[in-house]
Structure 1
Amino acid sequence: MILRLRYIQRVRDRRGKTRLYFRRPGHRSKRLPDESDPGFLAAYNEALAAAKPEILRPREPPRTLAGLIDFWMRSARYTALAETTRATYRRILLDIQKQDYANAFVTDFQPVYVRRILARHIATPAAANNRLKILRVLFDHAVSEGWRPDNPASAVKRHKEKAEGAVTWSEEQIARYEARWPQGSVQRLALALLVYTGQRRSDVVRMSGADRRGDLLEVRQQKTGARLLIPIHPHLAQELDAAPASGTFLQTPGGKAYTANGFYMRFRDWRAAAELPEGLSPHGLRKAAARRLAEAGCTTHQIAAITGHATLAEVERYTRAVDQEKLARSAIERIKL
């Protein structure tokens, strides 16, 4: 007689013999004796009463640094990053996975090991600091997932960077560029958008007439996701009036929108045509915009409301520089005869 009991599965082996298993969804399986065995019902009842749910854990990679990188790149935090930020992180992360220390277990890392990793980039402090930033994020993820109790990168100090990033355009350089490119040209429009909105090139190339809100320009920053409403400066308004009526403000000769990198390369040619030195970039005009606001007496919060900086540390560099100049001039005035 064949019994009809729940969770019983019959499996025929290669010799043709039927074997019985107690298999309940979410529980561990158990081999049962044959139905003709006097102990079958007792074994079945025992399995039915004692079955405990099997703890199902998501599959995760080996707990090495390389495995942690794969794990984090599948996380919600990584996928929530802006596309350009993900591309930058991915490039560095894939390079880290090629290194000899990538196969070390996450639990083996100590602050001294993190410092040794950064020491490999001592000639390029900015690159070292980028890796430190990413390692901090990775080990934070390791802590939150229970891979280790602490973050070994949090106690490691950043390398001192000699340079301050992109060179800030001076007023003389801005004036020389404007003298080369007349009002109504795409070159002049590019400068106006950069210096009168204080935005990154990745945001400037996406701006269009659809973003105008009366005397305001709405910006959704690609890097941070921040939404900004920026008053349109009269000089910018003049250039926007001459901009294309449809599509983005900045367009290629073929009428297409620029990519961020494509715009950078074209802007480099425009800068060279104005006989301005190498090193002056679109980002330098973003810094010039912050400098102008600081020189006008704007507070750090007011400047950040335009530039969209997530923290005030960067903005404070501009206000400190302006305050230093004002104090220095005031000090000299006091000792003039």
Structure 2
Amino acid sequence: MSAAVQSFLDMLAAERGAAANTVSAYRRDLDGAEEVVGELAKVDRAQIEKLAGAWSALAPSTVARKASALRQFFGFALDEGWREDDPSGALPKPRTRRPLPKVLGHDAVETLMSRAELEASTGKPAAVRQLALIEMLYGSGLRATELVGLPLSAVPRDAPMITVMGKGGQARMVPVSERAQMALSRWIEIRPSDPASKFLFPSRGGKHLSRVRLFQLLKELAARANLDPTGISPHVLRHAFATHLLEGGADLRVLQTLLGHADIATTQIYTHVDAARLVELVNSRHPLATRERSD
């Protein structure tokens, strides 16, 4: 990796507050590009055009992500005076459609929850923790990283809200359902006491439960509940939280705040799943809908 790319990554972390996972993703994309064309601070347009062939077998969304990383790097290089031109115009421009979120139906959520509650009734710590994790994913719409990284201090004793540190180090208050509060209370009572760990869901060495392990736990639970494990993940439960709230009449701006989206355009993707309800709402609630039609 070139020194210029390392400086760019340092800027992402220090000035933009990019999360470690985000910085790692940029690192992989920029490293991969330099393996093909050489040092990015010195390449010309002809070299950049080679990336189209190197990326030809990749999905359009992946190409778009890689191209975005390079465009941001070249903009940074211009600002730093490392380059006098911006060759990003030679980058591939795939046509992409934003993928619609996977939708988990109410019945599937109920089946998953019922299985988790059944296993938690044994009182085994792992099962009680599992229930608390699922209740927070579906009941509060947390991202996997936000959930596993919750400090114990984020859970108040009485207030039905929890402080979450989202992307870019942005904190937000998220409501916690009564079900989730009960599950969290049960977990905190039997949570392993480890002075070295400050996390709500601790792991060995003072660390917290990993995202990978959270994925595994959900898929294993789905299999035991006779659900397709490939259709269950922390992000799918987050999507279900958003979709089902929207179905219940939640305002899009409120949903944006709950999910921690910087741009409401990101939140609007959920409106596709509720088109039928919106049509029914217009037909039943619009002022002209109640007027009798005349000949």
TM-score of the superposed pair, with normalisation by structure 1: 0.67
Give the equivalent residue in structure 1 for 2:259.
307
C-alpha distance 225-163 of structure 1, shift in aligned 2 (>3 A): same
Matches within 5 A, 1:1-337: 68-73=4-9, 75-79=10-14, 80-99=17-36, 101-103=37-39, 106=42, 108-109=44-45, 113=48, 116-117=51-52, 120-149=55-84, 151-153=86-88, 159-161=94-96, 164=99, 167-182=102-117, 184=120, 185-213=128-156, 214-221=159-166, 223-245=167-189, 248-250=199-201, 257-277=208-228, 278-322=230-274, 324-329=275-280
Structure number with greater CO (CA < 8 Å, separation at least 6) is 2
Residue 177 of structure 2 aligns to which amino acid in structure 1? H
CA-CA distance at 1:81 after TM superposition:
2.0
The runs of 5 or more residues in structure 1 that have no matched partner are 1-64
C-alpha distance 148-169 of structure 1, shift in aligned 2 (>3 A): same
After superposing on structure 2, the runs of 4+ consecutive aligned residues of structure 1 that deviate more than 6 Å are: 154-157, 252-256, 330-334
Aligned length in residues: 265
C-alpha distance 271-175 of structure 1, shift in aligned 2 (>3 A): same
**Amino-acid identity (%):** 21
Give the equivalent residue in structure 2 for 1:23.
none
The runs of 5 or more residues in structure 2 that have no matched partner are 121-127, 192-197, 290-295
- What SS is found at the alignment partner of 2:231? coil
1:105-159 Cα offsets, whole Å, 9 max, x none, are 646227x945953872454122112101201111111121123455443796853
CA-CA distance at 1:261 after TM superposition:
1.7
Rg larger in 1 or in 2? 1
Q: In structure 2, what is the Cα distance between the partners aligned to 1:144 and 1:197?
A: 40
Name which of structure 1's ranges 301-310 and 271-280 shifts more when overlaid on structure 2: 271-280
Q: CA RMSD in A?
A: 3.4
Q: In structure 2, what is the Cα distance between the partners aligned to 1:255 and 1:269?
A: 25
Residue 81 of structure 1 aligns to which amino acid in structure 2? A
Residue 93 of structure 1 aligns to which amino acid in structure 2? L
C-alpha distance 327-83 of structure 1, shift in aligned 2 (>3 A): closer
1:205-259 Cα offsets, whole Å, 9 max, x none, are 12254112322111112x3211011122112112112112456444569997311
C-alpha distance 251-227 of structure 1, shift in aligned 2 (>3 A): same
Residue 273 of structure 1 aligns to which amino acid in structure 2? R
1:5-45 Cα offsets, whole Å, 9 max, x none, are xxxxxxxxxxxxxxxxxxxxxxxxxxxxxxxxxxxxxxxxx
C-alpha distance 290-119 of structure 1, shift in aligned 2 (>3 A): farther
Q: In structure 2, what is the Cα distance between the partners aligned to 1:326 and 1:115?
A: 48
1:163-185 Cα offsets, whole Å, 9 max, x none, are 72652322121011112221643
More helix by share: 2
